[in-house]
A and B are shown apart, each in its own frame.
Chain A
Amino acid sequence: MWQLLQIELFKIFKRPRTYISFGAVAALVGIIQLGLKLDGNMYIEFMLRDLSASFNIEGNILNGYLVCYIILQLLLVHVPLLITLIAADLISGEANMGTLRLLLTKPISRTEIILAKFFAAGVYTFMLLIFMAVLALFLSMAIFGTDDMLNLKSGYVVQLKSTDVFWRYVCAFCFAALAMLTVASLGFFLSIFADNSIGPIVATMSIIVVFTILSTLDIPIFNAIKPFLFTTQMIGWKGFFDVKVNDDNQAIIGSIQNPDRVLKAAGILVFYIVGLLVASIVVFKKKDILS
């Protein structure tokens, strides 16, 4: 199994297209950082225009932590596409190349192949997110410095002490990894049904778009299903940046306002991942390889 996983990773990282995702993340993060470096103060003034009238806000507001939060909000919408490009190609791409049948003539069970490919997709997803974390968090900290982080909400602001932020990012990236692994699982599952990767990539993105629209539509009939859509739960990482407050309305260091909601969101994503993986194994074991 370990050897199969190594082989799958070797194949993924030998393909030039794998690095498109890393290039795209680097370019997007770089563009946002450049824009904020050049014109970030105007952006902050605009965001704090209501608060500035009542409060005197001092310090390094546009610090690395806030920049990373802005980047995550923007990028986690687009990263699923980059994940899908690889995950939805893992089976269908091999079917298209004709290598799937050669692989299946070797003494390996189909379950082993699915598990190895799935874990390889997981490793790729984690590596892309680690790469993103390095650029979005550490590089931003290096460029913009650190200070307390202002989490701008509609109607209020959450002030997080600089010493209370880093662990929240670690958790947020772990949660984001879970969310992206859900997307990878969906793309991977759909790739079993096709003999070229275009179909599963388009199908995965279509499902994400439809689910996202359903998640954001405020129509009562859809409210019942919203909690069960993975797209609703994918933004659960933001929960790590909501804190409990004490009686003096001061943030309690190390707290999360609603940990149950974050756990529930993570649970639903894990349910999707396991469900899609089991479904992938069942379907693939029954599939006739005609490619």
Chain B
Amino acid sequence: MHPVINVTNLSKHFKDLIAVDSLSFTVNEGDVYGFLGQNGAGKSTTIRMLLSLVKPTQGKIEMFGMDLFTHQKEILKQTGAIIEKSDVYKYLTAFENIQLFSKVSGAGKLSKSQLLDQLAIVGLQDRAFSKVKTFSQGMKQRLGIAIALTHDPKLILLDEPTNGLDPQGIADVRNLILQLSKEHNKTVLVSSHLLSEIQLIANRFLIINKGKKLVEGNASQLFDPAETLVELETLDNENAMIKLQQSVWSSKLQARREKTIVLKMNKTEIPAFHQSIVHMEIPVMSFRPKHSLEDYFLQLTTINDDVATIAN
């Protein structure tokens, strides 16, 4: 696997704010790379640095084996991008927008039918000659994707591409990303706060928090199949916490949230834990083992803080 993106020790400071802090990661050819983090974690800033929109304070970015700062044009010729919501010229038609951007993207001169074909990929062929100001957010997003693909880039950077989309729009974007990866062998880096969506499409993940890398790897490396989080909702969480802290399960406590208590344990321990809470006469409303990426993400980004709270 050739690395398409190789980021080393990348940092960005905005005066006193450290938006990205010594971040290093690698995206390989053919990857659908999920880039996760809470709002303000530094995802967009990182993607903007990959696109030369923001100058790094320090660090190195190599793309396609070339240094971004010395080979910007060559790299951008092979890259398509959507940054947050797709904003295009609202006073132009979809066709005029894609025609305009195709001219500056290094695609060469595309014929009218080729441009209409690009719009057809995202299902906008029937609205090609409508002004974009009449489009819904989902249609604008799809147009943005079509524009990002006009020059047939090898790498596609998508920053929150499903922002503002309805469930059907989200599914469409998800399917399009999968199609681009599998059928057209594109490398895709996609950031999103919809972790369940990312879990469905990405083969590798990077999770960052407060600008720092928490973990990078593929799904099987990140999620220990033997361990799971258990979320407990009771009638009286305060009492339940006291009972659990006094029990053998105290070391398993991870977090106490507004309505739930979270524990981390081996999957084989779940039946014994179930029996224990019955013996302790904890009035349980719900009991949910959690295995999703979202749970893993929350575990990484919030539970450490919660554990400190529990200890106090």
Does residue B105 face the partner (Cβ distance < 8 Å to A)?
A: yes
Contact with A along B97-129 (1 / 0, CB 8 A): 000110111100000000000000000000000
> Do the beta carbons of B54 and A288 come within 8 Å of each other?
yes
> Do the beta carbons of A16 and B53 come within 8 Å of each other?
no
Contacts of B76 in A (CB 8 A): 105-107
The tally of residues in B whose CB lies under 8 Å from a CB in A reads 33
Contact with B along A68-112 (1 / 0, CB 8 A): 000000000000000000000000000001110111111111000
> Do the beta carbons of A106 and B101 come within 8 Å of each other?
yes
The tally of residues in A whose CB lies under 8 Å from a CB in B reads 24
Q: A102-B147, A103-B104 are in contact. List 10 more A-B contacts (CB 8 A).
A: A7-B104, A97-B90, A102-B86, A102-B101, A104-B51, A104-B52, A105-B51, A105-B81, A105-B83, A106-B105
Nearest A residue to B53, CB-CB: A289
Does residue A4 face the partner (Cβ distance < 8 Å to B)?
A: yes
> Do the beta carbons of A107 and B53 come within 8 Å of each other?
no
User: Would you give the shortest CB distance from B89 to chain A, in whole angstroms?
Assistant: 6
> Do the beta carbons of A104 and B105 come within 8 Å of each other?
no
Given contacts A7-B103, A104-B53, A288-B53, contact A109 B73 (CB under 8 A): yes
Given contacts A97-B87, A102-B87, contact A108 B55 (CB under 8 A): no
Given contacts A3-B103, A106-B104, A108-B104, contact A101 B92 (CB under 8 A): no
CA of A97 to CA of B91, assembled, Å = 11
Does residue A11 face the partner (Cβ distance < 8 Å to B)?
A: yes
CB-contact partner of A107 in B55, B77, B83, B89, under 8 A: B77
> Do the beta carbons of B54 and A10 come within 8 Å of each other?
no
Report 9 cross-chain contacts, Cβ distance below 8 Å, ordered by A residue.
Answer: A3-B104, A7-B100, A7-B103, A7-B104, A14-B91, A99-B87, A101-B83, A104-B53, A106-B76
Does residue B60 face the partner (Cβ distance < 8 Å to A)?
A: no
Q: Is the interface of A mostly helix, strand, loop or mixed?
A: helix
CA of A11 to CA of B92, assembled, Å = 8
Given contacts A7-B103, A7-B104, A289-B48, contact A105 B92 (CB under 8 A): no
Contacts of B104 in A (CB 8 A): 3-4, 7, 103, 106-108
Contacts of B87 in A (CB 8 A): 97-99, 101-102
CA of A290 to CA of B83, assembled, Å = 10
CA of A169 to CA of B80, assembled, Å = 51
Contacts of B144 in A (CB 8 A): 102
Number of A-B residue pairs, CB cutoff 8 Å, is 76
Does residue B79 face the partner (Cβ distance < 8 Å to A)?
A: yes
Contacts of A16 in B (CB 8 A): 91
User: Would you give the shortest CB distance from A166 to chain B, in whole angstroms?
Assistant: 39
Q: Which residues of B contact A (CB under 8 A)?
A: 48, 51-55, 72-74, 76-77, 79-81, 83-92, 96, 100-101, 103-106, 144, 147
Contacts of A3 in B (CB 8 A): 103-104
Contacts of B83 in A (CB 8 A): 101-102, 105
Does residue A153 face the partner (Cβ distance < 8 Å to B)?
A: no
CA of A217 to CA of B249, assembled, Å = 84
Does residue A286 face the partner (Cβ distance < 8 Å to B)?
A: yes
Does residue A49 face the partner (Cβ distance < 8 Å to B)?
A: no
> Do the beta carbons of B52 and A99 come within 8 Å of each other?
no
> Do the beta carbons of A14 and B92 come within 8 Å of each other?
yes
Contacts of B96 in A (CB 8 A): 14
Contacts of B81 in A (CB 8 A): 102, 105
CA of A181 to CA of B81, assembled, Å = 35
Contacts of A102 in B (CB 8 A): 81, 83, 86-88, 101, 144, 147
A1-26 interface with B by 8 A CB criterion: 3-4, 7, 10-11, 14-16
User: Would you give the shortest CB distance from A287 to chain B, in whole angstroms?
Assistant: 9
Contacts of B103 in A (CB 8 A): 3, 7
User: Would you give the shortest CB distance from B151 to chain A, in whole angstroms?
Assistant: 9
